[in-house]
Structure 1
Amino acid sequence: MSSFVGHLFPGLAFIFLGIYYAVLTSLALLRGQRLLFLPLPPRNKRPWGWLQQLPAEGVGKTVCGVSGLIGTFFIPLGSNRFAMIDWEDPAQPFLHHNSWQHMTMYSFLLLSGLVDMVSRCCLARQQVKLEQATWALSFHGVALLFVSHLQGKDALETRAHLLVVLPLVLAGLVLTIELWFPDQPVLWVLKAWMTLQFGSWFIQIGSFLYSPITGHPWRADKPGDVMFLTTFFCWHLIANALLIAAIYGLCVLWHQRHPPQQGAKGAGYQLCPTDSASEELKKTQRSGREGLP
């Protein structure tokens, strides 16, 4: 990540993920879904093969995680930052601190992607809670690593990295709350918003640190440069909120031109209601008792 390209590709990945969440949220609201992700039927009742069951989100996380791990240690080509300890030094100090922190961040992403794929392709039943908990853990872990990443940074980089922690913490908090309240559209929107914010701001950090638009480096000894960081961060918040609104508007137009067919609403695998207060269950129980001798 110690370059503009190292910030660009992870940032773009999270921007695309945020757009994906925004599209799913918009369509779920228009269709009246109770859940953002409808549960899959049991594995033995799925008509498609395992390759078709691979989740796009899980595959994307895995690919980005593996690519990030390789890039962290071996890019630029010919470099090798895999050594953790200098065994030749009597003090045996740790080496490549930033690289190992970046590796841990990408490992969280890889872990979440693998859990998504195993849950949907290998287990008898999809473990939605496990997928959600692992993704929430990833955001919390990366946020913790970014706080530690502030060591040795000047005031400018410290402010920039503190601001990137904010969407990480909020996204992790939203994902954690979703474990108990998965049917809250406000949480869906916040998740898309904070994912977009993290991605766009991460690219912005790479821009002003390694490739400033003006050609002049930002300086920590200039109060104006430090103050404008927060201003730019707020602009990103507004721009990402407008992007979500625009995506919703486009989905409304698409939904009007392609309305769901009769009976399509709520289509998909649904868990059998087991609430004793259910009217249908009461009727079934009553008719069963009447049929007994």
Structure 2
Amino acid sequence: MGTLAGHLLPAIGFLVFAVYYSVLTSLALLQEQRVLKHPVLPGKLQGHRLFRQVSYEALTKVVIPILGIFGEYFLPLGVNRLQMIDWKDPRRPFIFKDNWQHVTMFGFFILSGVVDIVSQSHLARWGVKLERAAEALSFYVLVLLMLTHIENKSSLEIRVHLLLLIPSFLLALVLTVEVWDPNSPPFWLLKSWLALVLSSWMFQICEMYVPFTGQPWRAEDPMDHAFLTIFFCWHLGLAIAVLIIIYGLCSLWHFHHSSWTKTPCARYQPCPMESSGEELEKLKAETLAQDGVV
């Protein structure tokens, strides 16, 4: 079933993006934004033409997959899986299939990050649609690779990867629709929820390497197969709960931040009609002084 590290890093990466999109979507809904605004890099980097208006998301799409590629080839330290063909064998067989599939997946996510950087640095009108198209392509590649990733595996491994295909394929479809309609709040919510499901299920796959119960999963046991599907349904509900919690925390921050930014001078204060004569004379003197009349 591969390695724990081979699934843990993608799980962490997908979780980072899922939480990021959930926070971004929650704030956009609270602020009634029509366009999903991504935080950009600090001003020092924005001064360079290449990094003008580049978001943290674009840079993260490049950095995390590069770390993943390094892990696939050289972790644990001392190994080297760069070789694709065993030239010593007369049959010239392909080797390290799973690692090369993971590297291919990481490579398309790097491509998506590069497209984001180029699009955001040039501020093209069609840039957002191009970004969604590149992101959708990376998830279609993920689905395609997972279909062959389950070959020659146990029935339990096939089941867990087929369940992983559900949020991956739905994410690809949502991103495809966003190519034509990128500013639709329902799609923002759907994408955030599916990303949370995908990341949490990746952690469920990691749990199969180190079971909480201390007993390994049994591929020949139909009960393990049944509970695996039950756990996936629980992950669907867990993602909804996490999304609601993130929205609640963002709403608390939004309302507190709004109350801090309000100043007493910004509010309209009507003049009391039953003021004393001294107060009226004082207000009249201040008005005349502002008009330049002595």
With normalisation by structure 2, the TM-score equals 0.81
- Report the alpha carbon displacement of residue 257 of structure 1 after superposing the two structures with TM: 1.5
Specify the alignment match of 1:144 in structure 2. Answer: 144
Task: Answer yes or no: is 1:251 the counterpart of 2:269.
Answer: no
Does the aligned pair in 2 maintain the 1:39–1:128 contact within 8 Å? no
- Structure 1 residue 212: Cα displacement: 1.0
The structure with more radius of gyration? 2
Asked if the contact 2:74–2:81 (Cα under 8 Å) also holds between the matched residues in 1, the reply is yes
Local SS of the residue matching 2:152: coil
* Equivalence for 1:54: 54
Cα distance in 2, alignment partners of residues 204 and 38 from structure 1: 29
Q: How does 1:118-267 map to 2 (within 5 A)?
A: 118-121=118-121, 123=122, 125=124, 127-208=127-208, 210-259=209-258
1:131-176 C-alpha deviation (Å, 9 max, x unpaired): 1110010011111101110101111000000000111000110011
- Give the aligned CA root-mean-square deviation in angstroms: 2.1
In structure 1, the gaps of 5 or more residues are: 41-46, 263-293
Q: CA deviation at 1:61?
A: 1.1
SS at match of 1:95: coil
Q: Where does the alignment leave 5 or more consecutive residues of structure 2 unmatched? A: 263-294
The question of whether the paired residues in 2 share the 8 Å contact of 1:12 and 1:200 is answered with no
The answer on whether the counterparts of 1:64 and 1:109 sit within 8 Å (CA) in structure 2 is: no
Identity %: 47
Q: Is the 8 A contact 2:129 2:182 kept in 1?
A: no
TM-superposed CA distance for 1:39, in Å, is: 11
CA gap of 1:157–1:39, structure 2 versus 1, over 3 A, is closer
Aligned equivalents of 2:53, 2:182: Cα separation in 1: 22
Contact 1:119/1:131 (8 A) holds in 2: yes
CA distance in 1, matches of 2:64, 2:230: 30
Q: Deviations over 1:213-236 (max 9, x none)?
A: 112110111111011111111111
Secondary structure of the corresponding residue to residue 19 of structure 2? helix
For 1:212, the aligned partner's letter is P
**TM-score when scaled to structure 1?**
0.81
- Give the letter aligned to residue 215 of structure 1: G
Map of 1:285 onto structure 2: none
Q: Identify which range, 74-83 or 156-165, moves more after superposition.
A: 74-83
Match of 2:258, SS? coil
1:63: which partner in 2? 63
Counterparts in 2 of 1:224 and 1:155: CA distance versus 1, 3 Å:
same
1:59 aligned partner, one-letter code: L
Paired residues of 1:73 and 1:82 also in contact (CA < 8 A): yes
- Structure 1 pair 19–101 and aligned structure 2 pair: CA distance change class (3 A): same
Residue in 2 that maps onto 1:116: 116
Q: Does the 8 Å contact 1:218/1:225 carry over to 2?
A: yes
DSSP-derived class of the 1:103 partner: helix
* Distance in structure 2 (CA, Å) of the matches to 1:222 and 1:94: 32
Sort the Cα spacing of 1:29 and 1:199 in 2 relative to 1 into closer, same or farther, 3 A: same
Report which structure shows greater RCO (CA 8 Å, sep ≥6): 1
Is the 2:36–2:183 contact (alpha carbons within 8 Å) kept by the matching residues of 1? yes
Equivalent position amino acid for 1:187 in 2: F
* Shift in Å, 1:30: 1.3
How far apart, in 2, do the equivalents of 1:140 and 1:188 lie?
19
Aligned to 1:266: none
- Give yes or no for contact 2:24–2:38 (8 Å, CA) kept in 1: no
Paired residue type of 2:258:
P
Shift of 1:38: 7.2
CA distance in 1, matches of 2:117, 2:212: 40
**Residues 39 and 99 of structure 1, relative CA distance in 2, 3 Å threshold:** closer
Give the drift of 1:246: 1.0
C-alpha displacement of 1:114: 1.4
Within 5 A, what are the aligned runs for 1:25-64? 25-37=25-37, 48-50=46-48, 51=51, 53-64=53-64
Shift of 1:52: 6.3
